[in-house]
Amino acid sequence: MATNLQAPPVAPLAEKLKPMKLKSDKHPDWCPGCGDFGITNAIQQAISNLQLPPWNVHFFTGVGCSGKTSHYVQCYGVHTLHGRSLAFSQGAKVANPKLNVIVAGGDGDGYGIGAGHFVHAGRRNVDMTYVVFDNEVYGLTKGQASPTLPEGDKPKSLAAPHVVQPINPFALALACGYTFIARSYAYDAKHLRATLAAAMEHKGMALVDVLQPCPTYNDLRTKSFFDEEVTVKGSPVPRVYYMEDEGYDGVVKDSTDATEVNDKRMAAFNKIYQQEERTGLGVYYKIDIPTYEDRVKRNLPILNEYSPIDLPYHDADMNPTTDLTAGKGSMVI
Partner 1 sequence: MSGLTEINWMIGGPQGTGVDSSATLFLRTMAVAGYHVFGKREYHSNIKGKHSYFNVRASHQFVQSSRDPIDLLATFDKETATTHGHEIIPNGALIYDEKVVKPEDIEGLDASVTTFILPFDDILQEVAEETDSNPMKLVIMKNTIAVAASMALYGVELHHMEEALKGIFEGKKAKLVPLNMKAAEKAYAMIQTMDGFDKFTFKIDPVANVPEKGSRLLMNGATACGLGKIKAGCRMVTYYSITPAVDECIYLETQPHYGVNVVQCEDELAAMNMVNGAALTGMRASTATSGPGFCLMAEAIGWAGICEVPSVIFNYQRGGPSTGLPTRSEQADLMFAINVGHGEFPKIVIAPGDMEQCFEDSFECFNLAERYQTPVIVLPDKVLANNTQTIPHFNEEGLKIDRGFIFEPTVKDPYDDVEGAMATHKRFEVTEDGVSPRSLPGQPGGIHWLTGDEHTEIGHITEEPSIRMAQHEKRFRKLDKALQEIPQDRQYKLYGPEDADVTVVAWGCTKGPMLDAMPLLEKEHGIKANLLHIRLFSPFPAEGVLKILEKSKQTMSMEANFTSQLHRLIRMETGFTIGHRVVKYTGRPISQDEAIDAIRQVVEQNAEKVVLSYGH
Helix (H) or strand (E) holding 134: strand 128-134
Instruction: Give 132's strand partners.
Output: 105, 209
Q: Which is nearer to partner 1, 41 or 218 (CB)?
A: 41
Q: Which stretch binds partner 1 (CB under 8 A): 87-95, 165-173, 196-204, 250-258?
A: 87-95
Binding residues with partner 1: total (CB under 8 A)? 68
Per-residue x/- marks for partner 1, 274-313, CB under 8 A? ----------------------x--xxxxx--x-xx-x-x
Figure out which of the listed residues 19, 28, 87, 203 binds partner 1, where binding follows CB under 8 A: 87
Q: Determine, following the binding rule CB under 8 A, whether residue 320 of this chain makes contact with partner 1.
A: yes
What are the DSSP calls for 241-309, one per residue?
EEGGGGT---B-S-TT-HHHHHHHHHHHHHHHT---SSEEEEEEEE-----HHHHHHHH-GGGGTS-GG
Distance CA 77, CA 59 (A): 5
Q: How far is the CB of 95 from partner 1 (least distance, A)?
A: 4
Figure out which of the listed residues 37, 88, 170, 248 binds partner 1, where binding follows CB under 8 A: 88
Q: Which stretch binds partner 1 (CB under 8 A): 71-79, 195-203, 214-222, 238-246?
A: 71-79
Vertex 330: Cα angle to 324 and 333 (nearest 5): 95
Instruction: Name the pairing type of β-strands 100-106 and 128-134.
Output: parallel
Q: Which is nearer to partner 1, 57 or 243 (CB)?
A: 57
Q: Determine, following the binding rule CB under 8 A, whether residue 328 of this chain makes contact with partner 1.
A: yes
Q: Determine, following the binding rule CB under 8 A, whether residue 141 of this chain makes contact with partner 1.
A: no
DSSP 103: E
Q: Determine, following the binding rule CB under 8 A, whether residue 47 of this chain makes contact with partner 1.
A: no
CA-based nearest residue to 101, from 175, 202, 235: 202
Helix (H) or strand (E) holding 184: strand 180-185
Q: Determine, following the binding rule CB under 8 A, whether residue 78 of this chain makes contact with partner 1.
A: yes
Q: Which stretch binds partner 1 (CB under 8 A): 81-89, 201-209, 234-242, 263-271?
A: 81-89
Q: How far is the CB of 194 from partner 1 (least distance, A)?
A: 24
Instruction: Name the pairing type of β-strands 180-185 and 279-286.
Output: antiparallel
Distance CA 84, CA 168 (A): 20
Q: Are 37 and 28 in contact (CB under 8 A)?
A: yes
Q: Determine, following the binding rule CB under 8 A, whether residue 170 of this chain makes contact with partner 1.
A: no
Dihedral over alpha carbons 219, 221, 227, 228 (to 10 degrees): 80
259: which residues sit within 8 A by CB, 6+ positions away? none
Q: Which is nearer to partner 1, 53 or 161 (CB)?
A: 53
Number of neighbours of residue 297 by Cβ within 10 angstroms? 14
Contact set for partner 1, span 192-251 (CB under 8 A): none
Q: Which stretch binds partner 1 (CB under 8 A): 73-81, 130-138, 162-170, 192-200?
A: 73-81
Per-residue x/- marks for partner 1, 95-124, CB under 8 A? xx-xx----------------xx-xx----
Residues that bind partner 1 (CB under 8 A): 13, 16-17, 21, 24-26, 53-58, 60, 63, 68, 70-71, 74-81, 83-84, 87-96, 98-99, 116-117, 119-120, 296, 299-303, 306, 308-309, 311, 313-314, 318-320, 322, 324, 326-328, 330-333
